[in-house]
A and B are shown apart, each in its own frame.
Chain A
Amino acid sequence: ETGVTQTPRHLVMGMTNKKSLKCEQHLGHNAMYWYKQSAKKPLELMFVYNFKEQTENNSVPSRFSPECPNSSHLFLHLHTLQPEDSALYLCASSQDLALGSGETQYFGPGTRLLVL
């Protein structure tokens, strides 16, 4: 168990629906991330939070809205999505942001999203 949980594990939604993805980490980490994983594409970083503050928005469309109420919880609010948004959405956490110097990211199992 990685210590990062995500709910729901599967989600089917229509293009006019509003839904939210939830992530919780039990590792005492300060940084949390949202990634999108599509078939045959590299992991795409979407958002980064450090101590509840958003530090990066990787040119993500406004139909994706993140929320980080505290260092342990991260949400991704979804509205008016498109079929091409269907993917696996992964949450991750790390002690701090120094990922390039050996700091390890711990990933949750992901939410498999299908937009009809």
Chain B
Amino acid sequence: QKEVEQDPGPLSVPEGAIVSLNCTYSNSAFQYFMWYRQYSRKGPELLMYTYSSGNKEDGRFTAQVDKSSKYISLFIRDSQPSDSATYLCAFSSGGYQKVTFGTGTKLQVIP
């Protein structure tokens, strides 16, 4: 079983749609949950960071963690063409442990 599962997409949605991006994981030690956004020809940039379970909201973005199901989600409301990018989920068990990344989901928001 892979440590992290993420659908690579591509996912195409019309502008204004609500987007749901998801990852599942198997390592119970993960406590820190991250979403990175990677535009074409750029490196990843940290978008959202959550510790333990629950929701975190930042503007149009909401990160959700369900540790009991080992499932995390990123919701994008009122999606814009500028949101077109690859979204990578990432995990860590804390401290000086390395970050484990998903494969990334490519999102295209069509005007």
Contacts and interface: CB of A to CB of B under 8 A. Distances in A.
A4 B45 CA distance: 12
Interface of A: 2, 4, 40-43, 45, 48, 56, 90-92, 97-102, 104-110
Interface in B30-83: 31-32, 41-46, 49, 51
A45 to B, nearest CB: 6
Contacts of B44: 43, 90, 107
A44 B46 CA distance: 17
Q: Name the prevailing secondary structure of the B interface residues.
A: loop
* Chain A CB within 10 A, most for which of B42, B43, B49, B94: B43
Contacts, number: 63
The 8 closest A-B pairs by CB, nearest first: A107-B43, A100-B92, A43-B101, A100-B94, A100-B97, A42-B101, A97-B96, A107-B44
B4 interface: yes
Contact of A101 (B32, B88, B98, B101): B32
B42 A102 contact: no
A105 B99 contact: yes
A109 B43 contact: yes
